Amino acid sequence: MLSNLFKRGAVTAGAACLAVAALGGVAHADPGVPYIKPSQRGDAVACVQMGLRDAGYNIDVDGKYGTATYTALTDFQANRSLQPDGIVGPRTGDRLYFDYLAKSGNVTQSELCATLIPTTR
């Protein structure tokens, strides 16, 4: 009787953990996601640009990391006590993703960018 109770409890606990993991939400960048730097192109740069736009910067989302992106990003970093180096590493990625992209209400944007922006979580 006691062993059956423990088995049921373990199964229930396991199911609860799976449910929380499945519903827990936001996908995160895989370990080793490369930093985003000047002169790059692609979806990761577009995610940075969308985050900057969501943060109030008037910037085009074209996927090209040029002067406008650098200027906006270094200003974003300086205003948030981050090193204004124009590189999106995990600390800058946390601020862009969790403070803006994840809260944007755009599910496609937040899910795609979660896999492309380096974060600490």
On the question of pLDDT at 4 being above 50, the answer is no
Residue at 4: amino acid letter:
N
What's the CATH number where 92 sits?
1.10.101.10
**What whole-number distance in Å separates Cα of residue 17 and Cα of residue 24?**
10
Look at 10 and 100; give whichever has higher pLDDT: 100
Number of domains composing the chain: 1
* Overall average pLDDT of the 3-19 stretch: 43
Cβ 59 vs Cβ 52: under 8 Å: yes
**C-alpha neighbours within 13 Å on the C-beta side of residue 110:** 14
Range of the domain at 51: 28-114
Phi, psi values for residue 3, rounded to 5°: -70, -35
Angle 107-114/43-54 helices, nearest 10 degrees?
A: 130
In a domain, 90, yes or no: yes
In this structure, what is the dihedral angle of CA atoms 34, 100, 64, 32, given to the nearest 10 degrees? 10
- pLDDT, one tens digit per residue, over 15-45 is 444 333 333 444 455 567 899 999 999 999 9
Higher pLDDT, 11 or 45: 45
Residue 13, domain member (yes or no):
no
Structure token pair of residue 58: 């008037």
For the beta carbon of residue 98, count every other beta carbon within 10 angstroms: 18
Q: Is residue 47 part of a domain?
A: yes
Mind listing the pLDDT tens digit for each residue in 70-120?
A: 999 999 999 999 999 999 999 999 999 999 999 999 888 889 999 999 999
Q: Is 73 part of any domain? A: yes
Structure tokens that stand for 117 in this block: 């922006």
